[in-house]
Structure 1
Amino acid sequence: MSIIIEELTPTHDRKAFDCGVNALNQFLQRQARQKAAKQIAKTYVACASAEPTAILGYHTLTGYSVTTAPDHKDYKKYPHPLNAVKLARLAVDRTQQGQRLGERLLVDAIYRTVLVAEQISAIGLFVDPMTPQVVPFYQQYGFLPADPGDPSRLEMWLPIKTCIAVAATACE
């Protein structure tokens, strides 16, 4: 099956999407388009090229300002807020779970982060996994704890140099 990932449009069938998490379903159905129209966040959907209106998965990106720099040699003691990209949501329809679509969506988000960094600036991609069970998914791509000194905080980040390497590998 050939998959395309594109910006959410009014032609996409948001109501049929079900990832099993009500909050993620409702965001796609009720808020994603409005946030894009207000330039708050952009949602990208994965669809089969043979059925381009059916949403198989999605991710949402937004701008992010890091006021406390992550524990990283390039940003230690930097006194100003830093630009980053936040992966606000990532979800895969129940019919596609276990088929690596989440990985494709994450790589797409990483690639788009690299584009932002090339055009303006971004120190990397941040994500809040919400539950400890999701942390290993992000760790396998090189995501680091945003605050290693606070193990109760799940937020993670992928430094821009790693984003560039992941995007380059994905394009090969």
Structure 2
Amino acid sequence: MARLTPPRPLTAEDDRTTFDCGREALNNWFWRHAWHNQEASVSRTSVVCDTQAGEIVGYVSLSAAQIERAWLAKSHQRNRPDPIPAVLLGQLAIDWRYQGRGYARSLMFFALTTAVHLSEQVGCFCVLTHPLDDEVRAFYGSFGFEELPFDPGRSMAIRINDLKHNGIGTNLRTDFG
């Protein structure tokens, strides 16, 4: 079994070229854009690495976002600003050699915990994501993400208050290492 680092910020020295999650869009974004977005403060990418092999096992990227109030369920629109502030979970991927070991789940908990902690400093209503396909949609759904009922792009979100209610954000511990 691999020995993993806890999630940490992506650095310029990290070798992204060997990462392959099996999904071209996620690989290309990571290879071409992750570091540039990090440098420009557009998004923050955290990586988990195999300490023995010295390679990136997985990554997750977070950034600020907003949602059109009209995309929410009517019960969540009342007395809300327009647009509504959110945290965007842009990408989450695990190298194919490490898939099936629960690392994606651990990275998801890290991302959600980070979002809850951020919400204590900067207001945000939810964590937003744009799943690539129905398989990814089911993965996010297993964490409580729901489709935004009126979003033509079929984005999914989970409310920060629901995360707090379920105990997410009480600490930053993950199952890595």
Q: 2:48 matched to 1:62?
A: no
User: Counterparts of 1:83 and 1:67 in 2: how far apart (Å)?
Assistant: 9
TM-score normalised by the chain length of structure 1: 0.87
User: Counterparts of 1:107 and 1:72 in 2: how far apart (Å)?
Assistant: 28
Asked which structure has the greater RCO (Cα within 8 Å, sep 6+), the reply is 2
Number of matched pairs = 169
Match of 1:116 among 115, 118, 122: 118
User: Counterparts of 1:92 and 1:78 in 2: how far apart (Å)?
Assistant: 36
Residue identity in the other structure for 2:12? P
User: Counterparts of 2:133 and 2:156 in 1: how far apart (Å)?
Assistant: 12
What is the 5 A alignment of 1:1-172? 1-3=2-4, 4-51=6-53, 53-68=54-69, 70-71=72-73, 73-76=75-78, 78-147=80-149, 149=150, 153-164=153-164, 165-168=167-170, 171=173
Q: CA deviation at 1:29?
A: 1.2
SS in structure 2 opposite 1:112? helix
Q: 1:72 to 1:157 in 2, by over 3 A?
A: farther
User: Counterparts of 2:51 and 2:161 in 1: how far apart (Å)?
Assistant: 32
Residue identity in the other structure for 2:24? N
SS in structure 1 opposite 2:162? helix
8 Å Cα contact 2:114/2:172 also seen in 1: no
Unmatched tracts of structure 1, length 5 or more: none
Q: CA deviation at 1:76?
A: 2.7
SS in structure 1 opposite 2:101? coil
Q: CA deviation at 1:79?
A: 4.3
> Kindly, what percent of the aligned residue pairs are identical?
27
Q: CA deviation at 1:73?
A: 3.5
Residue identity in the other structure for 1:56? V
Q: CA deviation at 1:77?
A: 5.2
TM-score normalised by the chain length of structure 2: 0.85
User: Counterparts of 2:3 and 2:124 in 1: how far apart (Å)?
Assistant: 31
